[in-house]
Amino acid sequence: MGEGFRNLIVWQKAYGFALEVYKATKHFPKDELYGMTSQIRRAVVSISANIAEGYERQYRKEYVRFLVIAKGSLGEAETHLMFARDLEYLKKDQYEYLENIRQETGRLLKGLIRSL
């Protein structure tokens, strides 16, 4: 498959999304460390991790399966971001910024799945 998963725009976008979520969740209440903070971070890291793992698999069918898992984690992240917004852990502009990145990642992921 050539250049490696790091050259995939969707992987780069997903990785950047995870970094941005980590930065935003630094300011969540301390009592959420093992709750909301942990859950949202786990979900967003799993997006780029599943893209990478699928890419490194030998068979296209496995690759697609891992991309579908990444898409599921993207949906999970959407729900966590909504909770964080509604609990006022994220400011409106922070939420919109993260949601825009999440949506763009979703479009790219959907396109990659379709192309395979």
Query: pLDDT digit string (tens) for 10-51?
Result: 999 999 999 999 999 999 999 999 999 999 999 999 999 999
Q: What is the pLDDT of residues 58-69, one digit of tens each?
A: 899 999 999 999
**CATH class as words, domain 5-115:** mainly alpha
Provide the mean pLDDT of the chain. Answer: 96
Residue 5 pLDDT exceeds 60: yes
| pTM, to two decimals | 0.94
**CB contact at 8 A, 20 and 111:** no
Cα separation of 1 and 52, whole Å?
A: 12
Q: How far apart are the first and last CA of the chain?
A: 12
